[in-house]
Structure 1
Amino acid sequence: MKSRYLELDAVLLELETALRQRSPFSLVRVGDGENIVMAQETVWTMEEVLQERWSIKANKGQKGLTLPNLVLRDLVAASLQRATIVGILPPDDQTIKAPDYLKRALTDKLFAYYGIEPALTCHACVNRDLARTPRFWQLLAGKRVLLVTREIQELQNALVQDPYNLNIAAALPFDGWDDLPETLQWIAAHPDEFDVALFSCGVNAVVLAEQAAALSGKVAIDFGKANNIILKGSPN
């Protein structure tokens, strides 16, 4: 990969610049779920995909999508082509609990298959670092924030209080894949009602964050399990 790898400080600098210049910016991330969704009938057979524990959980309603879903597969790959920064797992990642074969090795295969070459990359768990970094919250101070997640009321209640004190301009409940078109329609219709969008929507967040930045010209972040850190003190 010819990408430039950014440590946390450099990610924050890119974010700060986008906010100051009011330029579109999307931060998306690739973990085991994104890999499995993109592997459908590309580098794996559908049978192999559906045997995975993650896929079984998804088809029990635990991941905000069900498989097979080739439309989401193609949308995720397209969004990874266009996003400003793409979070990927390092080759020796121990941060997430998934088996090794679902991590960086599979990402590399998929990026080669799709010809995905992000200009900028960072750690896929950067969202967890952002949630724990006071400077991130300082950058959001005074900005109008759009929240999109399943736990919308709890997250909104937490973020308007200390130590975050955010201005939540809009909060959209997002239960899963079926809500994606309506969410993007709302963003396209209200591009001037927020400055920053935070998406905790599983794999769907890759598409939502990249598309939100493109549709609104604003900053959009695939926030993932950072909402768990805010609500429970731990990503899991």
Structure 2
Amino acid sequence: MNSKYLEMDGVLDQLEEAIREERPFSLVRVGDGENIVMSQETVWTTEQVLQERWAIKANLGQKGLTLPNLQLRDEVAASLQRADLVGVLPYGDSSIKAPDHLKRPLTDMVFAHFGISPALTCHACVNRELAQTPRFWEMLAGKRILLVTRELEALHNTLMREPYHLNIAAALPFDRWEEMGETLQWIQTNPDAFDIALFCCGVNAVVLAERTAALTGKVAIDFGKANNIILKGRAN
């Protein structure tokens, strides 16, 4: 990957500039789930994929998708090719609780397979850091926020109160991959309802954030497990 790697201040600068200039910007992230989804019948067989603990959990209904799903594989890869900023795990990183073979080595394999080469990258856990950075919340102040997540009521209520005081202009429940089409349809039909979109939808958020920025010209962020930090004070 010949990308430029941004530390937190660089990420915030990129977001701030896009918000100020009112231009499309998508921040998406690649962890073990995204790697597994993209590895289906590309660098691994479906059989190998389905043996992974993450895949087993997904097929028990815990990840917002079931496998195999080759359509989602291709949509995630396409969105990663087009996204403005892609969070990846550094080599040897221990910030997520996944086996090492599901981390950066697998990202490199699937990126090579699909020819994904982001211009800008940052840490895959950037969402956790954003959630705890006052400058990020200050950027969102006074903006109309679209919130898309499974834990809609709890997150919506928390973000409207101290210390966040966000203006949640629209909120859509999103539980599983099958709702993708309907969700994007609403977003495309209502581009003037919001300024910034936050997605807490697992792997689906990669596609949702990139497509939202492209379809509406807004800033869209794959916010991942930041909802857990906001609601419970920890990522898991």
Give the TM-score range, shorter chain: over 0.9
Which residue does 1:191 correspond to in 2? 191
Which residue does 2:180 correspond to in 1? 180
How far apart are the structure 1 equivalents of 2:119 and 2:7? 14
The secondary structure found in structure 1 opposite 2:28 is strand
How far apart are the structure 1 equivalents of 2:221 and 2:192? 17
Gaps of 5+ in 1: none
Which residue does 2:32 correspond to in 1? 32
How far apart are the structure 2 equivalents of 1:169 and 1:6? 30
How far apart are the structure 1 equivalents of 2:44 and 2:66? 17
Amino acid at match of 1:80: L
Which residue does 2:164 correspond to in 1? 164
Which residue does 2:151 correspond to in 1? 151
Q: Does 1:117 align with 2:112?
A: no
The secondary structure found in structure 2 opposite 1:170 is strand
Cα offsets for 1:114-159 (capped at 9, x unmatched): 1000000000000000000000000000000000000000000000
Amino acid at match of 2:128: R
Which residue does 2:229 correspond to in 1? 229
How far apart are the structure 2 equivalents of 1:234 and 1:89? 19
Deviation at 1:81, TM superposition (A): 0.1
Cα offsets for 1:158-207 (capped at 9, x unmatched): 00001100000000000110110000000000001100000000000000
Q: Does 1:215 align with 2:215?
A: yes
Which residue does 1:68 correspond to in 2? 68
The secondary structure found in structure 1 opposite 2:171 is strand
TM norm structure 2 = 1.00
The secondary structure found in structure 2 opposite 1:192 is helix
Which residue does 2:127 correspond to in 1? 127
How far apart are the structure 2 equivalents of 1:153 and 1:196? 19
Q: Does 1:43 align with 2:20?
A: no
Gaps of 5+ in 2: none
Deviation at 1:76, TM superposition (A): 0.1
Cα offsets for 1:22-57 (capped at 9, x unmatched): 000000000000000000000000000000000000
Give the length in aligned residue pairs: 236
Amino acid at match of 2:174: F
How far apart are the structure 1 equivalents of 2:202 and 2:136? 21
How far apart are the structure 2 equivalents of 1:156 and 1:89? 29
Deviation at 1:92, TM superposition (A): 1.1
Q: Which segments of structure 1 move beyond 2 Å, counting only runs of 4 or more?
A: none
How far apart are the structure 2 equivalents of 1:111 and 1:58? 22
Amino acid at match of 1:25: F
Which residue does 1:58 correspond to in 2? 58
Pairwise CA RMSD = 0.3
Amino acid at match of 1:198: L
How far apart are the structure 2 equivalents of 1:163 and 1:10? 24
How far apart are the structure 1 equivalents of 2:43 and 2:136? 37
Q: Does 1:91 align with 2:106?
A: no
TM norm structure 1 = 1.00
